[in-house]
Amino acid sequence: MDKKEMPVAVFDSGMGGISVLREAVNLMPCEDYIYYGDSKHAPYGTKTLEEVRELTISHIDYLVKEGVKAVVIACNTATSAAVRVLREKYKDMPVIGIEPAIKPAVYYKENSTILVMATPMTLSLEKFNRLMKSYEHMADIIPVPCPGLVEFIEEGDLDGEDVKDYLHEIFLPYREKGFDSVVLGCTHYPLIRGIIQKAAGENVKLFDGGEGTAKELKRRLAEKNLLQDADRKGKIVFKNSLEDKVSLSAYLFKM
Ligand code: DGL
């Protein structure tokens, strides 16, 4: 098989990476994709660094063995924990990670207040802290860990009262001072963008890294001459470490 014809792997701890997959398919509908969610072990964001690194590497190893031309780690937590090791391991393959979209938020409005919602692990690791430091002279950047939020989404609870109450509580401490934008620093969160927008306030601008990641994937495929011919329609195969989550993945993708 010509390498160009191989699928792109998109990996997440569960359902979240579907928000990135949507962007990739929008931009490159002619590609084939394998989406793999590790819902059996989700959430990753409250595990230890070693656990997340091991889980991520073993799933990417599996996907590479299946035969893929590129890997997208569509999970901020897994990227922070394992992207460096994976790039070392798969030197000849594009390995694309995702990180909280702080840069566009900073440039959106001068001296603004930016809340960065993400998992406790993403926000505690060096990768994020370096990113935040490089922009903190331009904006007031406030990390907002959201333990427990991923679980609602994994269960398919996308707009229940519990998740709405959770979001209300999350934004409460920042109401008085006010905030201009919110970075969705976990790929699960764009799947509930509507209720996050409502809870944050209609004037607050939301940012996520999905589109940027899809563009980076396209750039990296083009660079290696690995883009599919444009006149075909690609297909998507959904896989999950929990068999009964496969149909939820396909449903969320179409939503
Ligand atoms: N979707 C993942 C992210 O972008 C994390 C979810 C989890 O905690 O498993 O960080």
Pocket test for ligand 1, best of 15, 150, 155, 192 (most atoms within 8 A of CB): 150
Same structural domain, 91 and 189: no
Closest CA to 10 of 28, 42, 35: 35
- Give the CATH number for residue 65: 3.40.50.1860
Sheet of 181-184, strands arranged across: 140-145, 113-118, 181-184, 205-208
Same structural domain, 248 and 185: no
Give the pLDDT of residue 1.
81
Same structural domain, 123 and 65: no
Say if ligand 1 is within 6 A of residue 13 CB: yes
For residue 159, report the distance from its CA to the centre of ligand 1, in Å. 19
Give the pLDDT of residue 42.
97
- What is the span of the domain harbouring residue 184? 102-208
Give the pLDDT of residue 4.
95
Same structural domain, 248 and 199: no
For residue 225, report the distance from its CA to the centre of ligand 1, in Å. 31
Give the pLDDT of residue 46.
93
Give the pLDDT of residue 230.
85
Q: Which atom of ligand 1 is nearest to the CA of 41?
A: 9
Q: Which residues of the chain have pLDDT under 70?
A: none
Tokens of 9: 């792997």
Q: What is the pTM of this model?
A: 0.96
Same structural domain, 185 and 125: yes
Tokens of 112: 């603004």
Catalytic residue among 98, 123, 131, 186: 186
Same structural domain, 28 and 77: yes
114 within 8 A of 141, measured Cβ to Cβ: yes
Give the pLDDT of residue 61.
98
Beta strands in 83-174 (DSSP E): 95-96, 113-118, 140-145
Same structural domain, 218 and 94: yes
User: What is the domain count for the chain?
Assistant: 2
Same structural domain, 229 and 202: no
Give the pLDDT of residue 253.
96
Same structural domain, 160 and 245: no
Pocket test for ligand 1, best of 149, 187, 191, 192 (most atoms within 8 A of CB): 187
Say if ligand 1 is within 6 A of residue 186 CB: yes
Same structural domain, 39 and 164: no
Same structural domain, 127 and 39: no
Say if ligand 1 is within 6 A of residue 10 CB: no
Q: Which atom of ligand 1 is nearest to the CA of 44?
A: 9
Say if ligand 1 is within 6 A of residue 228 CB: no
Same structural domain, 65 and 120: no
Q: Which atom of ligand 1 is nearest to the CA of 45?
A: 8
- Distance from chain centroid for Cα 12: 7
Alpha carbon separation from 151 to 142, 154, 156, 162, 163 (Å, rounded): 23, 5, 9, 11, 10
Tell me whether strands 70-73 and 8-12 are parallel, antiparallel or unpaired: parallel
